[in-house]
Structure 1
Amino acid sequence: MTTGKTDFLTDMEYIDGITIIDTSGDILFSVKFNPVFNPEQKDDLEDVVGKKLSEVFPNINDQNSTLIKAMELGMPIYNRRQGVMDRSGNTVFTKNISLPIKANDRIIGSIEISKDLGKQKQAPGSVVMMDPEQFKHFQNVDKKLYSNRAHYTLDDIITANKETLDQKDFINKIKDSSAPVFLFGETGTGKELFAHALHNASNRADQPFITQNCAAIPDNLLESLLFGTTKGSFTGAYDNPGLFELAEGGSLFLDEINSMPIYLQSKLLRVLQDGFVRRLGDKSERRVDVRVISAANLHPKDCMKIGQLRQDLYYRLSVLTLKMIPLRDRPEDIQILLNFFINRYNASLKKSIKMVSKEVYEYFKNHSWPGNVRELEHLVEYAMNIADFSENIIRMDHIASRAEEFSDDNKNPQIQITPLGQILGSVERDMIERAVRLTGGNISKAARLLEIPRQTLQNKLKKYNSE
């Protein structure tokens, strides 16, 4: 439960008050250690219990209340500044942490911890110091809510490669922009690592970082997950915010964006253009402030050409692009990454590995690394798991069996070869179907998209329709 690398509770140093409300906005509990109320006013703090939040604080409403917003979004709101006016008209600015309270997967209220920003010095004993042990029960409200943080920074991108170092500099230049960023590259090259680092380097670092792999969930569920649902929109549906609402003020990382169905891409485009999201079955729209970071294993232009990405969405998502460098093009990083992973697994496995043998190092330097950095890490982890506690060198026999699995497919007798013509025919048919679907059945447009003559496309369509 962290904001960046700082615990979000201890970051406030002390608190002046705690308030709990239910979903109707009624105050269930309120303690003010340094009351916002006028000290000369004869109000008993207990008399606010049972009253509406807007009754006690006239300038607070559904639109500006962090307590209400935390319930609507179903997520914590960290360190928001808010002006609070008491019933005598006195205004004090507070810094708040507002958390939704859930029971049986339903939001039943919210709790807010506040710090008065108006006081320069606090009298001894007039505030409550933030002891994390005292607030462990807050952490059990809904642990899933607190996983929506970016865990890596630019310092976690370990490299001596000039191109990758230039990419880190590029991130520093674009970090505070709201423009979408498209990350592309082979599997294991660190797309998610860069997405985390971009978010944590930005002025959105204290806000949510939500990730979603678009290929990991069925199409019919992805829409409701992204945009949210309203009660009754389908059987069993409740009022639930989508990922855009959950990422309010922060970043939404959509991995394998090219796996998103075309019909959903049009809805995503509208959100990016207008800044409004509409839940399934809802008549109203909600404004959202979210930076979208997307990723694919292909260049976004190639995704568009083969019909995996709408042309208009391609232009919107790829305002800023970053190509991940494969490990085979970063040989200078192998030694650095080896040292890093060996130190990591020495600590977790209680081993004392100091180095790799010359034979292993030569293998690493000459390997093509189809799985990139992820493959290197898994190979080191495997070797260190099977190495004895008395050993301090990774030898070839530690990685031999796993290295054989990573060898070229044509060296593995178990791999079956499919005729090239069959593969090409299947790919061609799939691309033609995608192009025709993407252009709404317009043969001329589909032919231009495929960069073939219209008559050629018609002939191919007749061929595949007759099969």
Structure 2
Amino acid sequence: MNEVIRKNFINILNSIDEGIHIVDTNGETIFYNPTMAQMEGMEGYQVMYKDVLAMFPSLTPETSTIHKVLKTKKAIYDNVQSYTNYKGRRITTINTTVPLYSDNEFVGVLEISKNVTRLQDLAEKIVDLQQQLYTTKTSKKESIKTKNKNFTFEDIVGESERLIRTIEFGKRAALTDSSVLIYGETGTGKELFAQSIHYGSKRAKKPFIAQNCAALPGSLLEGIIFGTVKGSFTGAVDRPGLLQQADGGTLLLDEINSMGFDLQAKLLRVLQDGKVRPLGGLKEIPVNVRIIATTNSEPVISVKDNILRQDLYYRLAVVNIELPPLRDRRGDIPLLTKHFLNKYKQEFNISNIGITKDVHELFLSYNWPGNVRELQHVIEGAINFLSDENYIVMESLPRYLRENFQKQPKATTLPELVEQLEVNTIKEKYYDFNKNITKTAEVLGISRQNLQYKLKKYNIN
């Protein structure tokens, strides 16, 4: 290799965030980058030209991924490994370990490690806290009151026909134990619906546990959901997974489309058999848990793009609920605005809060890509910049909202007022019925052809 290229290559390896450890065929270290040194509490000179096992007594030839690949010459991908570093601190890494060849001759092993100790610790603490919280609640005659209340269908704000129908679907789903798949854009209230289904069901007094599948790497997520058995990987302990902890209740798997295919297959077996096998375990444990999954991507498209397994999709979507985006139920924006104003009026101890007419018009015309959550955050932020009269004014709003707002020209003549009323009425009903032309025309009392003409005339799509 050209010397300049070699030096640049080494500089790259020394500057990346992942730990790099290379050993020769004897298992002795020939390259050890600063990230790996920091991760393992070592200095490069302590490790170079020494065997891995000599530096890390907690590892054995059977548990060391480097020694496994030295022996088998087969790559290991995304393997979780917990061990004690040189300073006696327990660390957890996700390792990819591959054999190295030069001119078809085996010359050593490369290991790339990502330190996930804090992530692993945090995930395990959350699991433990969820279990402690539920144990604390059930050990008392009455559930303790917590800051984060349990949501029910009564907490869902809105009167649009489409939302009301969606709530009715959810209430019917609460009467059964069927799996539920909830699809909705970010901020539409998927977890609120999931909680409402749980607390409206016969499982209401049992655990409701939520896990975001996008928050953890797949190799960690598996242990969190399915549990681990001591010895399943280096440093693993006996720990029940979320499926066991939610026994009798509901497990919400948020962003199910972020879960890897292997884990999806394992989840499918649990749904089919009602049994879970912890990571590294030999026995299957019966579980009685209802699965509610959510996704912010169109499920059919996720299946087509091989992001969501088709068999899992059919198993989850026994009940399929689609939440409408806020732009399709603009009639609910005044109600939501009032709801959030009252909420923050109490939290911030403000006697009264209002919004100006300009702000009201902006709220109704803006498309809200972040949906209800974005509206809530905009209102909360604006309250920090109230006018002297305790009004949310245009200057209280984020700059991006003000720049995107284009006020509609004022209607002054009778024909203009009538046309504006017609446009607003058609929009409201058209979106309420999920753009169903037949139902919208029926409610408006006009023919399908007339409605299609008006939709084109007013550029409503």
TM-score band w.r.t. shorter chain: 0.5 to 0.7
State the shift of 1:174 in Å: 1.9
Q: 1:232-381 alignment to 2 at 5 Å?
A: 232-381=231-380
The alpha carbon displacement at 1:313 in A equals: 0.6
Aligned to 2:393: 395
Structure-2 separation of matches of 1:298 and 1:207: 29
Residue type of the alignment partner of 2:258? S
RMSD: 2.9
Q: Give the structure 2 partner of residue 169 of structure 1.
A: 168
> What is the distance in 1 between the residues matched to 2:133 and 2:347?
34
Gaps of 5+ in 2: 1-127, 407-461
Q: Are the counterparts in 1 of residues 183 and 190 from structure 2 also a CA contact under 8 Å?
A: yes
SS of residue matched to 1:223? helix
SS state at 1:386 partner:
coil
Query: Where does residue 462 of structure 1 map in the other structure?
Result: none
Secondary structure of the 1:182 match is strand
Q: Report the 3-state secondary structure (helix = DSSP H, G, I; strand = E; otherwise coil) of the residue aligned with 2:181.
A: strand
Structure 2 letter corresponding to 1:195: A
Query: Kindly tell me: are residues 264 and 340 of structure 1, through their superposed partners in 2, closer, same or farther at Cα, counting changes over 3 Å?
Result: same
The C-alpha deviation readout for 1:399-419, integer Å capped at 9, x for no partner, is: 1525258779xxxxxxxxxxx
Find the residue that maps to 2:270 and give its secondary structure.
Answer: helix
Deviation at 1:171, TM superposition (A): 1.8
Cα pair 1:150 1:196 within 8 Å, conserved: no
Match of 1:213 in 2: 212
In structure 2, relative to structure 1, the CA distance for the partners of 1:147 and 1:193 (3 Å cut) is: same
User: 363-372 vs 394-403, which deviates more?
Assistant: 394-403
**Equivalent in the alignment of 1:187:** 186
Q: Which runs of 5+ in 1 are unaligned?
A: 1-71, 79-97, 101-110, 114-129, 133-138, 140-145, 409-467
Label 1:74 to 1:284 Cα distance change in 2 as closer, same or farther (>3 A): farther
Aligned mates of 1:342, 1:206 — CA distance in 2 = 32
Tell me by how many angstroms 1:176 deviates.
2.6
Superposed displacement of residue 235, structure 1: 1.5
Could you tell me which amino acid in structure 2 is paired with residue 367 of structure 1? Y
Q: Which protein is richer in helix relative to its size? A: 2
Distance 1:163 1:99 in 2: 39
Letter in 1 for 2:268: L
Instruction: Say if 1:161 and 1:131 are closer, same or farther in 2 by CA, change over 3 A.
Output: closer
Q: Which amino acid aligns with 2:322?
A: K
Whether the 8 Å CA contact 2:190–2:323 is kept in 1: the answer is yes
CA deviations 1:335-374 (Å, max 9, x no partner) are 0001000011111112234321110111111101101001
Give 1:186 shift. 0.8
Amino acid at match of 1:354: I
Note the 1:38-187 alignment, pairs <5 A. Answer: 75=131, 151-187=150-186
- Give the secondary-structure state (helix, strand or coil) at the position aligned to 1:280: coil
The answer as to whether partners of 1:258 and 1:308 remain within 8 angstroms in 2 is yes
Pairwise CA distance, 1:289: 0.5
Distance 1:73 1:335 in 2: 38
State the secondary structure of the residue aligned to 1:233: coil
8 Å CA contact 2:325–2:371 kept in 1: the answer is: yes
Shift of 1:75: 3.5
Q: Which amino acid aligns with 1:363?
A: L
Deviations 1:40-87 (A, max 9, x none): xxxxxxxxxxxxxxxxxxxxxxxxxxxxxxxx9994698xxxxxxxxx
Q: Per-residue deviation at 1:147?
A: 8.3
TM-score w.r.t. length of structure 1: 0.56
The one-letter code matched in structure 2 to 1:247 is A
Tell me if structure 1 keeps the 8 A contact 2:160–2:331.
yes
C-alpha distance in 1 between matches for 2:351 and 2:377: 18
Letter in 2 for 1:250: G
In 2, Cα distance between the equivalents of 1:149 and 1:379?
Answer: 21
Q: CA deviation at 1:377?
A: 0.5
Is contact 2:385-2:392 (8 Å) kept?
Answer: no
Amino acid at match of 1:239: D
Q: Which residue of 1 aligns with 2:125?
A: none
- Asked whether the equivalents of residues 276 and 285 of structure 1 are also in contact (C-alpha less than 8 Å), the reply is yes
Q: Retained in 2: the 8 A contact 1:353–1:394?
A: no
Give SS of 2:384's match: helix
Shift of residue 226 of structure 1?
Answer: 0.7
Instruction: Indicate how the Cα distance of structure 1 residues 203 and 343 shifts in structure 2: closer, same or farther if over 3 A, else same.
Output: same
SS of 2:293 mapped into structure 1: strand
Structure 2: how far apart are the matches of 1:402 and 1:270? 47
User: Is residue 352–residue 391 contact of structure 1 (8 Å, CA) maintained in 2?
Assistant: no
Q: Structure 1 residues 218, 400: closer, same or farther in 2, change over 3 A?
A: closer
Equivalent pairs, count = 279
Specify whether residues 178 and 131 from structure 1 end up closer, same or farther in structure 2 by C-alpha distance, changes over 3 A only. Answer: closer
Change (3 A) 1:365 1:112: closer
In 2, Cα distance between equivalents of 1:302 and 1:174: 24
Alpha-carbon contact 1:210-1:253 (below 8 Å) kept? yes
C-alpha change, 1:362 and 1:179, in structure 2 (3 Å) is same
Corresponding position of 1:224: 223
Give the CA deviation at 1:148: 13
Percent identity over the alignment is 45
CA distance in 1 between counterparts of 2:213 and 2:197 reads 20
Amino acid in the other structure paired with 1:401: R
AA partner of residue 215 (structure 1): A
Counterpart CA distance in 2 for 1:380 and 1:298 is 27
| CA drift at 1:306 | 0.8
How far, CA to CA, are the matches of 1:74 and 1:163 in structure 2? 34
Which shows bigger deviation, 181-190 or 348-357? 348-357
Q: What's the CA shift for 1:151? A: 1.5
Partner SS for 2:159? coil
SS of the aligned residue for 2:188 comes to coil
Q: Distance in 1 between matches of 2:350 and 2:313?
A: 48
Corresponding residue SS for 1:293: strand
Contact preservation (8 Å) 1:150, 1:209: no
* Residue 385 of structure 2 is aligned to residue 386 of structure 1: yes
Q: Distance in 2 between matches of 1:263 and 1:131?
A: 41
Residues 1:406 and 1:199: Cα distance change in structure 2 (over 3 Å): farther
CA distance in 2, matches of 1:288, 1:400: 48
